[in-house]
């Protein structure tokens, strides 16, 4: 079967669909849904989000230099979608979606209590790219729902019911297909070294 050649476009799917909370002091906090987000460095821990300058949250991010990435679950899909198509200029997204704005530990803006994992971030650089600006940020703290921890304190994200976004649609994550290093273990029987992660090579 042949291939069709399309013009250049964003076809790197699936992506995490996260709700990014932000806010100015003395104003209602806001939520922006972002699919263009990712890990960029492990030491120091850093992430990025890309936001259009015309979005209401862009000015908040630029002014405060802080935000929280809140992971989205199956129970939060409607809220994530709604927050992505409505503007915080004329609506209180926390109130409308019955979400709880809880105090974060390292940044002034709130996190979403209903999200199982909250990543508190401080912007280090804004990079204009064209249609979007990339906000590069250091991770200051991570808040994790205790219900996702086993008896040894290990995080089990498979319990969270996380979702991804692919070409305009939301999907729940499927079954486990393997773990990092499984190809080496199958071939040689060797176990990966403790602390080894993708991207370290």
Banded pLDDT at 9 (limits 50, 70, 90): confident
Q: Does residue 196 carry a pLDDT above 60?
A: no
Domains present along the chain, CATH in parentheses: 15-188 (2.30.110.10)
Helix (H) or strand (E) holding 136: strand 133-144
- SS3 percent helix, strand, coil of the chain, rounded to 5, is 20, 35, 45
Banded pLDDT at 16 (limits 50, 70, 90): very high
List the structure tokens of 26. 């003395």
Query: For the chain, what's the residue count?
Result: 201
% the chain with pLDDT above 70: 92
Phi, psi dihedral angles at 60 (to 5 degrees): -65, -45
8-state DSSP, 4: P
Q: Calculate the alpha carbon distances from 105 to 43, 62, 136, 140, 187 in Å.
A: 20, 21, 20, 9, 44
Instruction: Report pLDDT for 194.
Output: 52
Q: Taking residues 163-177, report their average pLDDT.
A: 91
Q: Does residue 85 carry a pLDDT above 90?
A: yes
Instruction: Report pLDDT for 12.
Output: 85
Q: Taking residues 165-176, report their average pLDDT.
A: 90
List the structure tokens of 1. 């079967």
Instruction: Report pLDDT for 119.
Output: 98
pTM: 0.89
Q: String of b and e for 179-195 (b: at least 16 CB within 10 Å)?
A: eeeeeeeeeeeeeeeee
Q: Does residue 200 carry a pLDDT above 70?
A: no
């Amino acid at each position: 079967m042949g291939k069709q050649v399309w013009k250049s476009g964003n076809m790197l799917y699936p992506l995490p669909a996260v709700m990014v909370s932000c806010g100015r002091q003395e104003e209602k906090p806001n939520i922006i849904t972002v699919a263009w987000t990712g890990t960029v460095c492990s030491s120091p821990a850093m992430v990025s989000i890309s936001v259009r300058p015309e979005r209401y949250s862009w000015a908040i991010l630029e002014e405060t230099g802080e935000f929280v990435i809140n992971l989205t679950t199956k129970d939060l899909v409607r809220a994530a979608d709604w927050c992505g198509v409505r503007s915080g200029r004329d609506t209180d997204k926390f109130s409308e979606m019955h979400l709880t704005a809880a105090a974060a530990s390292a940044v002034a803006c709130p996190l979403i209590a209903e999200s199982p994992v909250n990543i508190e971030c401080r912007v280090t650089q804004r990079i204009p790219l064209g249609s979007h600006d990339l906000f590069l940020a250091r991770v200051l703290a991570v808040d994790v729902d205790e219900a996702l921890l086993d008896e040894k304190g290990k995080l089990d994200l498979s319990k969270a019911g996380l979702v991804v976004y692919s070409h305009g649609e939301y999907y729940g994550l499927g079954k486990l297909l393997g773990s990092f290093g499984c190809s080496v273990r199958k071939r040689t029987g060797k176990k990966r070294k403790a602390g080894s992660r993708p991207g370290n090579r």
